[in-house]
Chain A
């Protein structure tokens, strides 16, 4: 029995290391730092050309062929046009990214962290950004919400990678982004009201992962929590948030930005 337990322990450790290797922002960059910084700056310039003050931004942290069907991006946040004070005291304009990040050493918990485009794209698997720019009145309301500390008011630090956006038992980065947008639109941080509205109007992405895999994940990994779902697991994604905004005439522009697309801006892939 002792031998068996040690094998299980080793297996779990190996699996854990494997997942962290592919799931952390800390990993070695796959691309040259200058490529990452240039891409990040190009995403900023593209968004600035659209005069976006606040927009939904997404990145890809692992190979596309390892992602479930319908999931194109692995992390979603809000980019906010800001006055950035540098360490030397200079103040410069640029985008700050308001994230919900899973804690590395406590994966079932999250915290809210502001970083910048180069940080955001540092450990990506692909130089690719999803952006969804709400209409100007919506941007203004989201900005008001951010200024009124709404992101922390609608933050639930209990993390699940597959959090159900229809309740507040667990939360991931995408659900938090959706919470901020809805809190801004409805001008409330009442979670019961926000979730009732989400249930009425937001269409989540059904997750095409086998129930057996999900069961195993929920047994072995704290951050994969299935009990907040009844029936099929459905999650919020960049695409479903973009579609939600578009379906309610709240979206001004969206695009998937890649270096190739940027090299010929005329061929911008509208989505």
Chain B
């Protein structure tokens, strides 16, 4: 069972000196925070804000290579959560076949946003991450924290 997610925005997590990509389902009932590094966060941030630097970023290159060979990104799916690590798959269409490639969610999301492809999360992932610790952490997030990096 897959749930379609929207990228709600990016947050800075000062405790871990990392960024959090906040995904939320269409009905706004589930939130999936994914911790990512700085460069992964900016790859997602650029896509959210439609920023195109003068030279292609790594994810711009990824997209342009796929465009060049007429490969189409169908979707990005966050497939699993194990030991605090999220797993994702990128689904592509190339030639007359479908392919799926293992990726980190940060890369999968950065690529899906550039390709305007939908992002999904497996139901099991949403269930697994509803741990108390995360809930508690999210309660400490103030609305203004969202405002800073929201698009």
Q: Are A and B part of the same complex?
A: no
B positions within 8 Å CB-CB of A: none
